[in-house]
Structures are given as structure tokens and as C-alpha cells.
Amino acid sequence: MKISEIAVLAAIALSVAVGAYLYPQMPDMIASHWDAAGNVNGYMPKFWGLFLMPLVALAMFALLVFIPRIDPLKANIEKFRGYFDGFIVLMTLFLLYVHAISVLWNLGVAVNMNRIMPPALGALLFYCGILIEKAKRNWFIGIRTPWTLSNDMVWDKTHQLGGKLFKITGVIAVFGAFAGTYAFLFFIIPVVAATLFTTVYSYVLYRKLGRAKA
């Protein structure tokens, strides 16, 4: 196994072990969801509150490890595999970070969701920008539109632009930590804008290249 895969499994195992240790101390119903103002608006039984997220992280890990093996263009994935492995580690740590915050909250630790979530989201988005810039044409990872998947040049140019936009989105998301109840807007709006812009850009570029060939 790769070092990154061992690290991910170790982190998940640690999360499960901590949940098992804290199980007797936790309330029967655990806070599991917060609204935009940082107030709890959802609960679940403590078993799922302590172990659901590690199980989700494990399932996500298995899926991301499996994807390159079935992609018809898996040789292209190997060209940026190191960055993809880094994404797997970072995504797992992000999920376990969210889980840890939930556990601390239910232990009575005062946690300001609107302060501590934006930096983590920003870091994840920024790394997504790095991964996007490095990604080569494949069916699962990156900005997959009909036009990027049909042309290597459209793929490369769209991903160079998309990578920069998602890095900017990550930086903007961090500033959500100072926006109080509007923190989620610093994540949602830039992500939607970057996604829509790169989609349209890939179409326009594809049409432009088609006209140039004609």
C-alpha cells in the first residue's frame, strides 16, 4: 500500500477509536447539523453521530482508490497521480475534521462553526485548484464537460483557467470566517461562479477551435 493510503486508514482508525472511547460519555442524541447562523438544527443517535462520518470517509476513500482502476484513460491519471493521492488524504482529513468538531461540540466545547469551517473549506478548494491544473483528460477527475472530454487542448486550457479560479475561490472562502452568518456565501457563490464560468469557457473554446479548423 502507498504511504498516503496507510495514512488515510490510520486516521480513520484513530477516529473510530476515539469514538469508541468517548461513547459512554456522549448524550443519547448528538448534534449533527448546524444552520448558517451556527445553531444546531439536526440530531442523530450517538452511535451514528460518532461513527457515521468515519464510515463515510472510509467509503469515500475506497471509491477514490477504485476510480483510477476502471477509468478507460487511467494512464492519464497516472500522470498526476501524486496530486490525486494528496487530494484523497486532504478530503479524508477534512471529513474527519468536521467529525472532530461535532464531537467537541457534543462534549460541551464552545465551537464557532462560522469561524472554524471556512479555513478548512478554503484549504480544500485551494488544493482542488492545484489538482485541476495538473489533471489530464480522464472520465472522473476534473472539469468534465462534453467539450473538455472531446479535445485535449480544450481540456488543458479549461483546467489551467479552472485551477486558478478554484484557488481564488479557496482564498475567498477563508474570508468567510469573518463574515458571521454570511460565511456560507463566501463558499457557495464563488464555487457556483467558477463552475459555471469554466463550463461556458470550455464550450466557447471548443466552438472556437472548431471554426479555426474549418
pLDDT digits (tens, 9 = 90+) for 9-30: 999 999 999 999 999 999 899 9
Q: Which of residues 82, 111, 140 is at a domain's end? A: 111
Q: Which of residues 95, 111, 127 is at a domain's end? A: 111
Q: Are 137 and 73 in contact (CB under 8 A)?
A: yes
- On whether both 58 and 119 belong to a single domain, the answer is no
pTM of this prediction exceeds 0.75:
yes
- Which string of b and e fits 148-170 if b means at least 16 CB within 10 Å? bbebeebbebbbebbbebbbbbb
- On whether both 33 and 10 belong to a single domain, the answer is yes
* Sign of the Cα pseudo-torsion (125, 127, 129, 132, in order): negative
**Confidence band of 211 (pLDDT split at 50, 70, 90):** low
Q: Which range marks the domain in which residue 89 is found?
A: 1-111
- Predicted confidence (pLDDT) per residue in 90-122, tens digit: 999 999 999 999 999 999 898 888 899 999 999
Q: Say how far apart CA 205 and CA 46 lie, in whole Å.
A: 51
> Could you tell me which of 126, 142, 68, 60 has the C-alpha nearest to residue 98?
60
> Could you tell me which of 22, 179, 18 has the C-alpha nearest to residue 112?
179
State the DSSP H helix or E strand holding residue 53, giving kind and residue range, or none if neither.
helix 46-70
Q: Which of residues 46, 77, 111 is at a domain's end? A: 111
Could you give the number of structural domains in the chain? Answer: 2
What confidence score (pLDDT) does residue 1 get? Answer: 66
Mean pLDDT to the nearest integer, 38-60: 92
Check whether 171 has a pLDDT greater than 90.
yes
Long-range contacts of 17-24, Cβ-Cβ distance < 8 Å, separation of 24 or more: 18/103, 19/50, 19/51, 19/54, 19/103, 20/50, 22/50, 22/103, 22/107, 23/47, 23/50
Mean pLDDT to the nearest integer, 195-214: 87
Check whether 214 has a pLDDT greater than 50.
no
